[in-house]
Chain A
Amino acid sequence: MSTETLRRAEGRRFAPRIGGDVAGLLALLAAVVVLLGVAAPGFLSLSTFTSVAFQLPELGLLSLAMLMPIISGGFNLAITFTANLSGLAMAFVLQSQGGVDAGLGAIAAGVLAALATGAFVGWLMGTIIAYTGAHPILVSLSTMIFVRGLGEFLTRGGDISGVPGYVQAVGQGTVGGIPAPLLVFAAAVLLWAVVLSRSRLGFATRMIGSNIEATRFSGVPTRRSLTLIYMLSGLMCGIAGIVMLARFNSVRVGHGESYLLITVLACFLGRVDPFGGFGRVLPVAIALVILQVIASGLNQLGASQHLSTALWGGFLLLIMVVRSVWASRFLQVMFGKR
């Protein structure tokens, strides 16, 4: 047990700093880039960077939404549909104000509507989890079905398209050569890193993830914290919803559905403890880049759409095997056998 606890202790540092986990992931990223660069001529190009930069933020924002619940020992399975519903809320506001001709005031109202929708769905989930003690998987799964159904009812199963140019710029434009959605994602990463490592809520999230009863006995308001964790998760879904709406110039319920389990994978690849209590934002962000680079690289290899999914899965299996073998060797060398 002692190596495990040592590893866990090592995994958490108060001040964000470059630890072994980050170095390991960066090495993995470098290896992946080199491998794909050799295998696919033309992989090391600006167009690859651009495609990664535009595709990463959606998955990335959703992964951040998944991260806090996982560290608190829970789950949020409703993230993708919450993002859809948030995008829908914004699209409705814009449509009512003239669609593609909507003004800046309408856009601001739309953004607020999206954030409020996401936060409300999260608050609802968090309240139920905190005050009834129901399992987060069950609560978020029920919420997912409810939110999806609601969205399908509101859109009659179709999609709503046509947003003003300013909004499209958030999804498709660049600022100083850097894709705008990437900037949104970077800001979100920074915000989450601060919340998780420096705020009382982040502190409570880790403690709750390890032992909620001991945390409550210490005087931490565990119910309020749990409610806030899911509310912030929902808020992040709202941001993801806005970016998705902006990028595709439309919103459809079910868009990004396949991201759900990949966000979980990104968290675990980013060294988040599947049992809660430990996890940092930076390693997860790097893990996301790795996942996206592999996906883009496989596209460029010219593999068929369907085969590339299988290749992607195979690659991930390989990473997991290598990582766990490497990790256990490393720990043995570091701490000796106990």
Chain B
Amino acid sequence: MPSTADRPHADAGAPLLQLDHISKQFGGVKALDDVRFDIRRGEVLCLAGENGCGKSTLIKIISGVHRPEPGAVMLFNGRSVEGLDPAAARALGIQVIWQDLALFPEMTVAENIAFESNLGARPRLVDYGAMKAAAVRILGRLGVKLDLQAPLRTLPIAQRQIVAVARALVAEATLVFMDEPTASLSQAETDALLAIVRRLSDEGIAVVFVSHRLAEVLDVCSRVTVLRDGRLVGTFPTEGMTQTRLTQLMTGKTFDYAVQTRDLSDAPVVLSVENLSRAPDYADVSFTIRRGEIVGLTGRLGSGRTELALSLFGMAPAAAGTVTLEGKPVRFASNREAIRAGVAYVSEDRLQLGLVQPQSISDNTAITVLDSLLGPGYLISARRQDALVDDWVRDLGVKIGHPDHAVSTLSGGNQQRIVLAKWLATHPKLLILDSPTVGVDVGARAGIFAIVHKLAEAGMAILLISDEIPEVYFNADRILHMRDGRIVGAYVPGETDIDAIEGAVHA
């Protein structure tokens, strides 16, 4: 791991961008309150904080989308840039890569990278030759090879991320904001992206990194600016900073990270999987989960872990092998049968599969248990539905405005609680959690796992799938390691060192 301090530019020169007394009010809500921010040429800086802390507002002010309240000082290269608008910000080389990337799925890689450079050209024709040349040049600078003619939608998310970075560079960026760039990347893909970030830094481009993954924040950034509730907590060098300390700064709370394994070898087996195979996804998978046990399943994206989970959930039938649930062999023809038998599956893709985003919080909670809500005439009883939703919202501490609001209006952490609620309402015996903290705040993660541990205490068998080793290490009783569709390792946290597991998984 290269030390961040000895990289060139990291400490060199005057600030590229300097902000002071930045406040922003929306209606009665103070989104930002007297915040100071600065970044130097070529510096990689992290902007950290929980959802709603004001990160996005700050980025929008710097990129000219929002105007700060009067009294703000904004200096770019020492020159005042008050009254910045989006066009002016772009002219200064300020580029934002939002989490959704804002690319064009039907256009080719080359078009996505270079289309902006073609805008306003005379004659008003698309110069494909020049576009391709520009794309080749930029990708060369990044040291990446991509098929320029491939439509963007055929690319995996990691490569789309690179396309978005390349597009920012075409526009002669001096300061690039990256919003949660690694949220949906595997560890290897994250490493590749971080290498690109370092390359940008070496070229003198300043990068502001927004991420929930604290390990990579500490790895790639030289300083971290922490916001909480719209106020500046402070800007700290990452040298000597720990994840625990950073979490504390972001949330204002202390969380204990400690291995908490329990010996449950006497508890009855809930799930037993024997020699389960499904080509080409996984083969010869065997393991058990006991009552009250949390089994962690880790491995890179594409290791077959999600496919295995879908098989257990009745949505991708296994070709061979047996699954036994509470002593009875089961073979589900659909997920309905699996749910009825007591299996619940929290999908890794909360946006597309976990929740029906535009629909209400209430309906999303009730969707799994409609049959139990029927009143007279086989009609859904509004009273029962309201009672069910109220109970779960209270039990899981979900922060909502009104149950009739769309579930998409909730933060990631609260959405995930609704997902948990809808599955817990089915009273599952086996709960499969597939990457349950993707896009969830640090503070909210702790809350989710507090719920999970309570469920385990109450006797639920839990399969926790994650590619973040610390997540399984500090939450599971046992860890299984999956690679290329096979289980290649089994560890007990505490007995095996976390670094050894990291090494084995990401080797």
Residues of A bordering B, CB below 8 Å: 1-2, 5-6, 8-10, 12-15, 194, 198-200, 203, 206-207, 210-211, 213-221, 277-278, 336
Contacts and interface: CB of A to CB of B under 8 A. Distances in A.
Contacts of B353: 213-214, 217
- Pairs of residues from A and B, 5 with the lowest C-beta to C-beta distance, nearest first: A5-B406, A198-B379, A9-B406, A219-B339, A218-B367
Contacts of B409: 2, 5-6, 9
A159 to B, nearest CB: 41
18 contacts: A2-B409, A5-B406, A5-B409, A6-B405, A6-B406, A14-B385, A14-B386, A194-B379, A203-B366, A207-B367, A210-B356, A213-B353, A214-B352, A214-B357, A218-B422, A221-B336, A277-B358, A278-B358
Contact of A336 (B26, B347, B382): B26
Contacts, number: 96
B27 A336 contact: yes
B359 A207 contact: yes
Contacts of A203: 363, 366-367, 370, 380
A1 B351 CA distance: 14
A294 B380 CA distance: 38
B457 to A, nearest CB: 26
B408 interface: yes
Contacts of B378: 199-200
A205 to B, nearest CB: 11
A45 to B, nearest CB: 41
B322 interface: no
Contacts of B360: 9, 12
Nearest to B345: A217
Contacts of A215: 356, 367
A41 to B, nearest CB: 46
Contact of B335 (A10, A14, A217): A217
A214 B418 CA distance: 14
A82 to B, nearest CB: 27
Q: Is the interface of A mostly helix, strand, loop or mixed?
A: helix
B324 interface: no
Contacts of B357: 5, 210-211, 214
A304 B95 CA distance: 61
B343 to A, nearest CB: 10
Contact of B368 (A8, A14, A15, A218): A218
Contact of A210 (B26, B359, B368, B380): B359
Interface residues of B, number: 38
B355 A207 contact: no
Contact of A14 (B345, B382, B406): B382
Given A5-B357, A8-B406, A218-B367, 13 more contacts: A6-B406, A9-B404, A10-B404, A13-B404, A199-B380, A203-B363, A206-B359, A210-B356, A217-B353, A218-B368, A221-B336, A277-B358, A336-B27
B354 interface: yes
A336 B386 CA distance: 29
Interface string B406-434: 10110000000000001000100000000
Contact of B359 (A2, A216, A277): A277
Most buried by A among B336, B367, B406, B409: B406
Contacts of B370: 200, 203, 220
A62 to B, nearest CB: 26
Contact of A9 (B379, B405, B426): B405
B358 A210 contact: yes
A9 B379 CA distance: 22
Contacts of A216: 335
Contacts of B475: none
Contacts of B382: 14-15, 198
A217 B347 contact: yes
Interface string B296-328: 000000000000000000010000000000000
Interface in B338-390: 339, 345, 347, 352-360, 362-363, 366-368, 370-371, 374, 378-380, 382, 385-386
A5 B345 contact: no
A43 to B, nearest CB: 40
Most buried by B among A194, A203, A215: A203
Nearest to B26: A336
A40 to B, nearest CB: 42
Nearest to A220: B367
Contacts of B367: 203, 207, 215, 218-220
A219 to B, nearest CB: 4
B368 A199 contact: no
A15 B366 CA distance: 15
A198 B380 contact: yes
A221 B362 CA distance: 19
